[in-house]
Chain A
Amino acid sequence: MLRYIAVRGLLIIPSVLILYTLVFIILRILPGNPVLAALGTKNIPEEQLKAIMSELGLDKPLYVQYFEYLANFLRGDMGLSMVVRGRPIASDIADKLPATLELTVWSIAVSLAVGLGLGYIAARWGGRYFNAFTRLLGSTLFVVFIPALGLGLQLVFSSYLHLLPSGGRMSSVEGFRPITGIYTLDAILELNPKALLDALQHLVLPSLTLGLVISGPYIRLTLSNLEAVMGSKMVEAYRARGVRESRVVRHAFKHVLIPVVTYTGLQFALLMGGAVLTETTFNWPGIGTYLVDKVMYRDYTAIQAVILIFAVIVGVTSLVVDVVYALIDPRVRY
């Protein structure tokens, strides 16, 4: 088992490198001075420009920059922002990564709830038309444009009903000091119910938006797999032995979890893209908004860093999924 993890872990490295190289090449190959583009002005005296370039390490030959950045990244130094002078990118990312993680996890939770729930209802009690509709819903839910749904929800629940905040992660709550950066977790750790409530209120709309849009495949997977399992010889055998129906369904569900978990891993990439869009819509201070902000200023170093981070996240999650799969299905292990 450990060997399996080690081998899979090592494979992440080339993937990450490929993406880094691609982005590095594209960012550097383009004409024009990146600093000028970032600062948006052409009127910087020669020496000052040179000084800034040297400060940011941009005057060195390309291949040196390539390897140096990589080496520094591994040590945790992600370079300095081109826009805000002297500000290390790593600390920005450390601030914002937990926010994105929190949003992502809660969105997956919403997706699973919707997917497993709807799939279960359809498999157990659904009729032909309801199931066909559910299947269609599963295939097409992804077409909902996230900002449109997000803005719509904000309009209804925030602007009209004043029930929920329209953006941000938290209003200021007394005595709350984040530890991990994942506010819901921190609020629980600090036993601060007010903070927890506030954090959750801010989470509802964004995670609902993202969660609903990505729940389509979960709905489909649960429905077809549950139908298949409930009609299988294995379930017949359980019933022939006189095991009660509720237990049978519980055991059947374990079989449904395998494709669902696998899918989560495979589609994590899609999820991250959706997260970026959701963050932008709700002013959620995660790496998505960070990336988009940097877009305005063409802050190359920051963009590079974000890409690397994403590549690592994708690689690691795919590994985690495989491990979880092996835990659920003993056939993979032995």
Chain B
Amino acid sequence: MELSVYLRNPYIAAGLAIIAVFLAFAALAEYIAPYSPVDSVAPPLQPPSPEHIMGTDNLGRDVFSRVVYGSRIVLAIVAMSIAFSGVVGSLLGLTSGYLGGLVDKVLSFVMDSLYAFPSLVLAIALSVALGPSPVNAAVAIAVVYIPTYFRMIRGQVLSVKNEGFIEQARVLGLPPSRILFKHIMPLVSGTLMVVFSMNSADAILTEAALSFIGLTVQPPTPDWGFDLYKGRGFILAGSWWLMAFPGLCITLLALGFALVSEGVSKITGAKLR
């Protein structure tokens, strides 16, 4: 399907627009943010004003600048984890689906057990075990989402495996890897897009949750969830801007991906489960 069909869909357009804004934040942070995110530049706990459109935090740092730079960490962690789980999960799904038999049965059962388990709890446990750091958080999130990709790819492989032309390829003696990549993968792309975007939305929320528990970054690194965590006491005492803006960003970015997922699934008719 051509790109223009996708881009004309209102959900996808809106979603991509939102994502683009945050990508711009991340890529061009130095140009967009008015101040440094880690230096104290003003009196602490100032409500939004013309100089500080999102106010200042308890250490006198400009919240808007922190928000802009924060998108970097968030997007970095999410991108890393999705890439990892996408690749590993897909490969495992491909092999498992193609090989079938005992291997497939065992692997599927393991993946199903993981899939059924609350992802945040598992991510927390893994993060703790590995130690709090952005990379470890990315790994933890990645592990949690491997079953998602596994199931999806395996499902597609199974439905396609016995189609006539695959049998043909096998009869002709083409090596399995060739069959897998040249013939099976292209058919999977529709579902892949839906799952990928929905997964990104999930991952953003999981990253924010891990940050809120303090398992990702260390001060003074700017991160939305982490800022919420550090600002809790002050928020409840009345500094609402410390909660509103980072919180809004988390939700908005996740919403962007969710909208894209909605739009793609409407067009391709692909379902998530």
Contacts and interface: CB of A to CB of B under 8 A. Distances in A.
A298 B118 contact: no
A8 to B, nearest CB: 13
Interface in A23-76: 23, 26-27, 30
A273 to B, nearest CB: 3
A273 B119 contact: yes
Interface stretch (B54-62, B63-71, B163-171, B229-237): B229-237
Interface string B102-140: 000000011011111111111011111111000000000
A125 to B, nearest CB: 24
Interface size class of B (residues with CB under 8 A): 35 or more
Contacts of B213: 280, 292, 295
A271 B120 CA distance: 10
A272 to B, nearest CB: 4
Interface stretch (B31-39, B79-87, B182-190, B255-263): B255-263
A307 B121 contact: yes
Interface stretch (A152-160, A189-197, A233-241, A243-251): A152-160
A145 interface: yes
A291 interface: yes
A151 B116 contact: no
Interface string B204-240: 0100110011110000000001001000100111101
B208 A26 contact: no
A105 B153 CA distance: 34
A90 B118 CA distance: 21
B226 to A, nearest CB: 11
B236 A147 contact: no
B206 to A, nearest CB: 8
A94 interface: no
A240 B126 CA distance: 59
B128 A298 contact: yes
A226 interface: no
Contact of A147 (B11, B114, B247, B258): B247
Given A30-B129, A273-B121, A277-B209, A18 B110 contact: yes
A163 interface: no
A324 interface: no
A143 B262 contact: no
B244 interface: yes
B251 A145 contact: yes
A148 B241 CA distance: 11
Contacts of B12: none
A15 interface: yes
B121 A139 contact: no
A214 B228 CA distance: 21
Interface of B: 11, 109-110, 112-122, 124-131, 201, 205, 208-209, 212-215, 225, 228, 232, 235-238, 240, 243-244, 246-248, 250-251, 254-255, 258-259, 262
22 contacts: A15-B109, A18-B110, A19-B122, A140-B259, A145-B205, A145-B247, A145-B250, A147-B228, A148-B244, A148-B250, A151-B236, A151-B247, A155-B235, A159-B237, A273-B118, A291-B121, A291-B124, A295-B127, A303-B129, A310-B118, A310-B121, A318-B116
